[in-house]
Chain A
Amino acid sequence: LAKTTQPISMDSYEGQEVNITCSHNNIATNDYITWYQQFPSQGPRFIIQGYKTKVTNEVASLFIPADRKSSTLSLPRVSLSDTAVYYCLVGAFYNQGGKLIFGQGTELSVKP
């Protein structure tokens, strides 16, 4: 399983764009890159998934360079409600019976 490294914490202000980078140097060919978000007292929630290049949805964008050894989650114009822990996960999860392997995550704090 690919090991991931991401910052423990980040601070931002409302209205700013936030980029959280995750390193996964030993990513395998079949691995996908997936991000989950977790608010206090809630379970994690799927945000976005990608394999290569760029993926965008209504919540975030995910940038993956050609070598796939890192990825960047981009949150446009954050608000206070984006304060949460963000987890980067890498794996071909369906091959593992679907179980997710979480790291420590990045605790994002958005200030007014």
Chain B
Amino acid sequence: GAGVSQSPRYKVAKRGQDVALRCDPISGHVSLFWYQQALGQGPEFLTYFQNEAQLDKSGLPSDRFFAERPEGSVSTLKIQRTQQEDSAVYLCASNQPTGKGHIEQFFGPGTRLTVL
């Protein structure tokens, strides 16, 4: 497709359930990012991949959060034993870095996770 896609768009989970959120980046984009956006706030960085390598996971809020990108394209963000505070929109973005200036990141529509 032409843009970043994410699935599902909406997810409702009961507290304690595990969830998996999928991101399909723009074809050929080397870099992939996950962000978490709470209601009324700006997105907050979670983790960053360059191809299949996870180079920065400093933003993951706890060890219940896990992300992977095994073949350097599709990525999955997994949240184990979900808690109510995990309720947020999870955004995925991708780009092709050139190492100079700011390189535009292309965002998907996000997955809205609601934990009951």
Contact = CB atoms under 8 A, between A and B. Distances in A.
Contact of A32 (B102, B106, B110): B102
Contacts of B100: 94
B62 interface: no
B97 A101 contact: no
B42 A98 contact: no
Secondary structure at the B interface, as helix, strand, loop or mixed, is loop
A29 to B, nearest CB: 13
Contact of A100 (B40, B43, B97): B43
Nearest to B91: A43
B55 interface: yes
B56 A97 contact: yes
Given A49-B101, A94-B102, A104 B33 contact: no
A41 B31 CA distance: 23
Given A43-B4, A97-B56, A104 B108 contact: no
Interface in B74-111: 91-93, 95, 97-110
A99 B55 CA distance: 11
B42 to A, nearest CB: 3
Nearest to B98: A94
Interface residues of B, number: 33
Interface string A73-104: 00000000000010101010110011111111
Contacts of B104: 46, 49
A93 B56 CA distance: 13
A75 B109 CA distance: 24
A32 B55 contact: no
Contacts of A98: 31, 33, 48, 95, 97, 103, 105
B99 to A, nearest CB: 5
A97 B48 contact: yes
A45 interface: yes
Contact of A43 (B41, B56, B107): B107
